[in-house]
Amino acid sequence: MIKADYLKPDGRTLTLYSSREAIRVDGPIPSPGDAVTATPQLRWHPLRGEWVMYAAHRQGRPFLPPPGYNPLAPTVDPANPTELPPGAYDMAVFQNRFPSLSLDAPTPMDVPGVPVRAGMGSCEVVVFAQNPDATLASLPAEQIRLLIDVWADRTSVLGADERIQYVLPFENRGVEVGVTLHHPHGQIYAYDHIPPVQQRTLDTMRAHMQATGRPWLTEFVAQEQEAGLRLICERPHALSLVPSFARYTYETWVLPKRAASFLSDLSGAERDDFAAVLHDALKRLDTLFGVRMPYLMTVHQAPTDGGDYPEWPLRIELYPYLRAPGRMKYLAGTEQGAGEFANDALPEQKAAELRAVQVGTVQMSTVRMSTVELEAVGHDQG
């Protein structure tokens, strides 16, 4: 992996990555507008016991920009700059112009009766490819392998700041899940605290290791290999499966075969297999119904607060939002109000369907559902 760091005219950072050749920039480093004053804050939710982010400055961020202007594509017209320069590189990472968290967040005004503090952290955008019509599933295998390295590098860079305690790379894909820019990209949030989901995982995994002397992931992988019912794809160092406790119909996990805390802990061969299995999982989901599967993908690594976390289960979780052709998985009262998920199908059945998908060149409809269509199909809140 080759990387090069730059500074945008508005003061934000930009890092370009390449997997094979030297990076070349053909023109000035652009910014699509003036610097945005970010004033994020956190307010404590006393009933849920967690922080809620507020970022009023994000109201002005791009929302489905007009055809002909793509802020994530390389700049073509210097009079209408985008976020990226033209040149030779494979991926790009830059600080979000409209961040939900900022290391420069000012101290907010007091709110009577509610603990409030600055929204301290960092938010980055990861552009997966220069081609605006690409998807992760359609990219070549070496590009997915580079993405694993990019996620590992950004986690190390962001986590090196003593203020950052957790780094979460993720991708939201599809208008069905609220994406407003169709160019293939993801994001990285870096928090000054361990988020509640990760804290709960840490607590349960630590209790398991204290009770058994073994990390949970090692036992889980061995059990799933022995059962064989929910495996989707397996390579020497990694595998994918529909977990036996899946909350989404086609929920897919990508796992290393040995316990690890960070992507950076994986060897070159392990990263190769991890990337290949992720690529396979993405292709299967896109091939399943012949449409671009809307999904949320999250990369779960250990906290970056300097602690030692041998119990941590490194994994990628994919939450597909179609539960059947044309039918969305909506979060209903039991999920939103109680945090209790309801799944209409058994994981074993859906894993068998994903195993049966013939993975090859991904060809699918690129038609995206309109807002009206989304409201019309499968809207039974299940």
Q: Give the C-alpha separation, 229 to 181, whole Å.
A: 37
Question: Residue 259 class from Cβ within 10 Å (0-12 exposed, 13-18 middle, 19+ buried)?
Answer: buried
Q: What is the DSSP string of 209-241?
A: HHHHSS-HHHHHHHHHHHH-SSEEEEETTEEEE
DSSP string, 137-184: TTS-HHHHHHHHHHHHHHHHHHHTSTT--EEEEEEEESGGGT----SS
User: 357: which residues sit within 8 A by CB, 6+ positions away?
Assistant: 283, 284, 287, 288
List the catalytic residue out of 185, 193, 208, 237. Answer: 185
- Compute the CA torsion angle 97, 101, 106, 109 (nearest 10 deg): 120
- Residue 170's DSSP bridge partners are 187, 298
Residue among 43, 46, 47 at smallest CA distance from 338: 47
Sorted by sequence, the CB contacts under 8 Å of residue 366 that are 6+ apart come out as 133, 292
Q: How far apart are the first and last CA of the chain?
A: 43
Query: Is 300 a residue of the active site?
Result: no
Sign of the alpha-carbon dihedral angle for 152, 153, 156, 158 = negative
3-state secondary structure of 78: coil
List, by residue number, the catalytic residues: 185
